[in-house]
Amino acid sequence: MTIIAEIGTAHSGDLSKAFELIDASKEAGADCVKFQWVYADEILHPDTGFVDLPNGRTRLYDNFKALECNQEFYAQCMEYARKKNILFACSPFGLKSLKELAELKPDAIKIASPEVNHYPMLKDCSRFYAKIPLILSSGVSKLGDIEKAMELIDASENKRAEDMKMPALTLLHCLTFYPAPEDEYNVRCVKTLGQVLGIPTGISDHSMDPVLVPVLSVAMGGAMIEKHITLSRKDSGLDDPVALEPEMFKLMVHSVHQAEAVLRHSGENEIYRQLAYEYPMEKINSILGTGIKKLAPAESANYGRTNRSLHYMRSMKKGEKIGNGDVSVLRTEKILTPGISPEFKELITGAVLTKDVENGAGVKLEDFIEKKRKNCGTKSRPQLKF
């Protein structure tokens, strides 16, 4: 079992705090630390809305902008992690951060749940797949989304390099909501997704309890667990309020290793029996769920908003042609309208607008289709204007 301490952006751009978080992760028993390589322009539009944080109401774009660090920052974090004998992984959020991350040759590249449909980035990931393991998280995604992502990555164990410290591709079941309700986690998906897709699976856990979801993922044969770590839940980072402080993270690691030993010697039913001393069996069963991969109630309203779609990067007039930089693959998030799937980005490049569009609006195919007066003749299929 590989245990990942998700540091994310809890360092707030402070290198000494990043080192302190690496130390805390190592001391808590994590096998790997994971960072997030943030460039705000790769994630969301400046007008996406606001978020309430411990230090007040903040424009979400500005919050991400303040977390931007250069390549040297991550290089030093990776060097320090390896000095401490702990693996280093990182999540890119676009083509620029992916390229710069791959140049560092991390121990793994993690594709976060909202990027499962960032098709241009996934295609680029396939170029690094032979040498750098990939971890794919699957929150706010349907089974078809996961299968399409794997096709773009061209997942094949035959590409695995001998010196990889993790499997070539690992899929993490996830519930993208903060904090995630344990009762909706459907942990049996860890087993069923592994059986359906034929790759190692695990869980990315955003619930508050340090034991329940991680231990039940062990019972389901999980190969990897990822959970946020913070020095204090009172810190001002985006994920700090739902992260585990070091002592709680240490408890999770201990519980996971205990569960692994029980699974080896006595099987999954013994794990349930021992958990039942502390938790009602009804709760355990509700967390295990059905094992059918579907959107959890808590995240279903965000499908299409948290993950990626196409958005205009400037206001444009009818008759203008879409050029490079006019449209980006972004999360919709708070107040904007979702656009069409990123798979259509190449299709609409060069297309002519048949209506005025606003900066930040989600791209629609009807923005490029001319309305024609009805004739009594044969019907024709609408086509994009070029």
Please choose, from the candidates 250, 212, 243, 209, the residue with its C-alpha nearest in 3D space to the C-alpha of residue 229: 243
* Beta pairing class for 201-205 and 327-331: unpaired
What's the whole-model pTM score?
Answer: 0.93
Type of residue found at 17: K
What are the C-alpha distances in Å from 68 to residues 65, 193, 212, 332? 6, 34, 34, 20
pLDDT confidence of residue 351: 96
pLDDT confidence of residue 383: 73
3-state secondary structure (DSSP) of residue 34: strand
pLDDT digits (tens, 9 = 90+) for 289-342: 999 999 999 999 999 999 999 999 999 999 999 999 999 999 999 899 999 999
pLDDT confidence of residue 158: 44
Architecture of domain 2-297: Alpha-Beta Barrel (3.20)
Token pair recorded at residue 235:
């810190």
**Run of H or E residues at 185:** none
Mean pLDDT lowest for which of 60-69, 251-260, 277-286, 375-384? 375-384
* Beta pairing class for 308-312 and 327-331: antiparallel
Q: How far apart are CA 311 and CA 330, in angstroms?
A: 7
**Class assignment of domain 307-386?**
alpha beta
pLDDT confidence of residue 79: 98
In sequence order, which ranges of the chain are alpha helices (DSSP H)?
A: 15-28, 40-43, 60-65, 71-83, 95-104, 119-128, 143-153, 189-197, 212-219, 246-266, 268-275, 281-288, 297-300, 345-348
Q: Residue ranges per domain, the chain?
A: 2-297, 307-386
pLDDT confidence of residue 17: 98
Q: How far apart are CA 376 and CA 75, in angstroms?
A: 67
Q: How far apart are CA 352 and CA 272, in angstroms?
A: 60
Please choose, from the candidates 339, 351, 329, 310, the residue with its C-alpha nearest in 3D space to the C-alpha of residue 124: 329
pLDDT digits (tens, 9 = 90+) for 175-203: 999 999 999 999 999 999 999 999 999 99
